[in-house]
Amino acid sequence: MAVGLSDSLPVLHPVAGIRLAVASAGIRSGKIGRNDLVLIELAGGAACAAVFTRNAFCAAPVVVARRHLEHSPLYLLINSGNANAGTGAAGLAAAEHSCAAVAKLAGCRAEQVLPFSTGVIGEPLPVERIASALPALNASLAADGWPQAARAIMTTDTVPKAVSRQLEIEGCLVTITGIAKGSGMIHPNMATMLSYVATDAAIDRVLLQQMLQRAVDQSFNCITVDGDTSTNDACVLMATGVSAVRVSKGGHAAAEFQAALDAVMCELAQMVIRDGEGATKFMTIAVTGGRDEAECRRVADTVALSPLVKTAFFASDPNWGRILAAVGRAGVVDMDLQRVVIHLGDVCIVRDGGRAASYTEAQGAAVMKQQEITVSIDLGRGQARAQVWTCDFSYDYVKINAEYRS
């Protein structure tokens, strides 16, 4: 079960200018019954920003969506159960065909449709099943479709992930609502696995892209489950402009909106880690005292990605030497070991180059039994800081991934 999450979704406020619908297209092995197709409609004039995976073997829908992003998107088409990755020219044709099918039905250009896929890599996308489901999908578009969409994009996720916030800017109510999916193959190098966030504020596309990148860098780019960057990662931010709030660069409204967007993205990113495949612990790796942010991030990543550290957390074993070893191999040049201080929760485990004199095994064991744990590492050489969120490795992680295609 996901750490600190439940299957129940919070209240998800509709975003004026956005409608969503879901359908069962039987995309995975022709199985009918589970919703696996989502259509999102944007109001005319909406702005759309996105970031995508940097994996060289990026999926066909990523290639197409990058290209179509320049053409004022009006629709997003998302399928689960099939990644349409590693499918070559046929995969690109399938993604384009799916966009054309939506465009024909909606009366827009194919270039105004962004395709997204998630699921098994290397399998042909069953375009005919998607096309057959589109008429009913288009007919059922509704402003309150966020909860259903959050569930339809799930793959190995155990719970849906969604966040919704309303704030007042310049006397007007602004809504931000978003969903995400992700559980394994999580080590984003741009965004998250799949995430769609919308607001009714008016923001031009250039500023929207800048705001999205900043929010992503502080959230989805700070999470890891297993160190594997997906072929299909994508994060989309939509601004319909239906509300009376106009957000301009450098203005007070921009600062307020950015803070709210950062919070929404951060919560969604942490949900992904809390629902990491087989996760039983949620860990924050917080590194301070670095010369620059880059070296702090290297240390945080090295600890968060260590299988030995992650399995120790699963076993609730206070084997602090694994954390020490990970810090030591993180590539920090000229690190003064006497200055490094490491805490497990509020318990100091390393000081003055070795185990802290005050540390006891009982203290460490008590912290390790908790579901949410912070590892704090002070390098003692500067003012920079960075943090990463991760989870443990359990028996279920191996089982889920060993049986993924079963």
Q: Tell me: the pLDDT tens digits for 116-131?
A: 999 989 999 999 999 9
Q: How far apart are CA 144 and CA 59, in angstroms?
A: 30
C-beta neighbour count of 243 within 10 angstroms: 20
Segment 15-21 shows an average pLDDT of: 98
Handedness of CA 95, 97, 100, 104 (dihedral sign): negative
Active site (annotated) includes residue 288: no
DSSP letter string, 47-92: EEEEEE---TT--HHHHHHHHHGGG---EEEEEESB---S-HHHHH
Greater confidence, 286 or 192?
286
235 and 153 Cβ atoms separated by less than 8 Å: no
Domains of the chain: 18-274 (3.60.70.12), 282-402 (3.10.20.340)
pLDDT of residue 156: 86
| 363 pLDDT above the threshold of 90 | yes
Handedness of CA 155, 73, 176, 204 (dihedral sign): positive
What the block records as the tokens of 142 is 């509704």
Return mean pLDDT, the chain. 94
pLDDT of residue 167: 96
| 29 pLDDT above the threshold of 80 | no
Q: How far apart are CA 344 and CA 136, in angstroms?
A: 53
Catalytically annotated residue among 118, 192, 199, 302: 192
This prediction has a pTM of 0.94
330-347 per-residue burial string, b: 16 or more CB within 10 A, e: under 16: bebeebeeeebbbbbbeb
| 1 pLDDT above the threshold of 70 | no
| 32 pLDDT above the threshold of 70 | no
Pairing of strands 384-391, 223-224: parallel
